[in-house]
Amino acid sequence: MKLDEFAFVNQQLAGMLKSGQPLEGALRRLCASLDRGDLKAELSALEADLAKGTPLRDALPPRQLPEFYKRMMLIGAQANDLPGVLLLLADYYQRLDALWTRLRGLLVYPLIVLVVATGLSVVLGFLLDAVSGAILTDPFATEYLFETSSASRSWYALRHVPTVVMCILTVAAFAVIGLPGLRRKLRWRLPGFREAALAQLAAGFAMLLRGGCPLGESLALLRELEQGSPVADELKTWGERLAAGQGELRELSAGSRVFPPLFMALASESGPDLAKGFGRVADTFQARAAARAEALLYSALPVSALALGIVIALQLTPVFHMLIRTMNALGGSN
């Protein structure tokens, strides 16, 4: 689905809910205005389930919507603030769309050059193989086409290095996309993504606490939504300590390996007003995540240019090596 369209849909839905319409009615009106597509199909199915009396908590999981979106919707329903959550989601997907658009603009030219250079080097390699086999004497052609020296094999193998690396990166990308458990773990470990995950968790805490949800219930809900990620075990420990009578946030998080000290310091600054404290945490870590995203964008072009130069060198070096050997052989035969 298109991120900008998804953001607009959430803005419209938030406006309808603020005007007092029930969620299923707002979804029905919204789907009537949407064009055909996966988003309309999923929202229509969600509306149909809600109209049958299915609770939102049970109707959302089967839908093919982003996991983060479904988690935040459940948090908003628990906090009795679905319009507020939808506006936050609209802002989030707008920023994500802007970031992705800028990144695509930066990488389009290097990718085009990379594809052209790869195709050119492969074509040149085949042409040189054919020419060498046709014009050289039989003994040399045999040695040239079926080289036995380790140095010659190394030069020839360089041509395949970029292709192998790209295949590995492609498999890794599909593994991250197709394995939700791996994606959740990486989300809490990679720089930038980790700050964004901390900001989202803190925003969930703040929203639930502002909506009147006790800390224990908030911990249980967020732990359930974060199943499969490293933070789930931490939240379970928090809940056990809270049930044992340790009410201070610093006591709950003692010995934490997931939450940085800054997270707990900001959350504890507001004393008993934990909703305000977690709100500050969300703002702080969201700003840090945005700063890391900007740094990534600024570094994307020089890094991609450097990688492109290395790839082109690896692709063309074997070709030049074969060309030089062919010219030397032709000169020697004269």
Q: Which residue has the higher pLDDT, 124 or 137?
A: 124
Structure tokens at 320: 């030049």
Rounded to whole angstroms, the Cα distance separating 334 from 327 reads: 11
Q: Does the structure show a pLDDT above 50 at 208?
A: yes
The domain tally of the chain equals: 2
Same domain, 78 and 112: no
Q: Which residue has the higher pLDDT, 134 or 255?
A: 255
Percentages (nearest 5) of helix, strand, coil residues in the chain? 80, 0, 20
pLDDT at 333: 52
Last residue within a domain, chosen from 29, 64, 93 = 93
Same domain, 34 and 162: no
Last residue within a domain, chosen from 93, 127, 155 = 93
pLDDT at 284: 92
Same domain, 101 and 83: no
pTM, entire model:
0.67
What is each CA distance from 2 to 8, 73, 136, 151, in whole angstroms? 10, 19, 57, 50
pLDDT, mean of residues 101-121? 72
The domain in which residue 80 lies consists of: 3-93
Same domain, 182 and 74: no
Same domain, 15 and 111: no
**What is the rounded average pLDDT for all residues in the chain?**
78
Same domain, 161 and 285: yes
Q: How confident is the model at residue 144 (pLDDT cuts 50, 70, 90)?
A: very low
Candidates 70, 71, 86; CA nearest to 11 is 86
Q: Please report, rounded to a whole number, the percentage of residues in the chain having pLDDT higher than 90.
A: 1
Same domain, 263 and 330: yes
Last residue within a domain, chosen from 67, 93, 119 = 93
Residue type at position 243: A
Q: Does the structure show a pLDDT above 80 at 150?
A: no
Same domain, 86 and 119: no
pLDDT digits (tens, 9 = 90+) for 282-334: 889 988 988 888 887 778 778 777 877 777 777 677 667 667 766 776 665 55
